[in-house]
Structure 1
Amino acid sequence: MEISARNGIKGNIADVKLGEVMASIKIEVTEPGVITAVITRESAEELDLKEGDEVKAIIKSTEIMVAK
């Protein structure tokens, strides 16, 4: 996968909470520990995010995205 964002942290999904529209994805990382990304439910389902999945947290100035 090629993207222009350069601020990425690898981690594993610790928890997925699906709401009606949004999803909260908790990601365990070595440093600083755990970060949480809030993404749309549709995105969480399209990526088929599950606890234990290895992902990369992509950090933009205004948000944290999830890539798999």
Structure 2
Amino acid sequence: MRISARNQLEGKVVAVTEGAVNAKVDVDLGEGKIITSIISMDALKELELTEGSSVTTLIKASSVLLMA
């Protein structure tokens, strides 16, 4: 699959918290760095994500918010 996102980080799913509509997925990138993604329950099921799943996170710069 080809994709325009250049910010790609490999990691492992360490936690999945299911909600009524969305799921929170925590991904360990290594060295104590965790990234969290909110995805639909449909996407969670389609991707068959569970704790321990290997994933690639994709970050589009136009969708990143920072707070200090």
Structure 2-normalised TM-score?
0.83
2:63 corresponds to: 62
| In structure 2, distance between residues paired with 1:14 and 1:59 | 19
Pick the structure with more helix per residue.
2
What's the offset of the Cα at 1:31? 5.2
2:46 pairs with 1:50: no
What's the offset of the Cα at 1:35? 0.7
Partner deviation per Cα, 1:8-44 (whole Å, 9 max, x = no partner): 1100000111111111000001256111011111101
2:19 pairs with 1:19: yes
| In structure 2, distance between residues paired with 1:25 and 1:41 | 11
Q: What stretches of structure 1 move > 2 A for 4+ residues in a row?
A: none
2:40 corresponds to: 40
Structure 1-normalised TM-score?
0.83
Percent identical among aligned pairs is: 38
User: Size of the alignment, in residue pairs?
Assistant: 63
Compare 36-45 and 26-35 and name the one that shifted more: 26-35
CA separation of 1:5 and 1:31: change in aligned 2, threshold 3 A: farther
Structure 2: segments with no counterpart, 5+ residues: none
Amino acid at match of 2:47: L
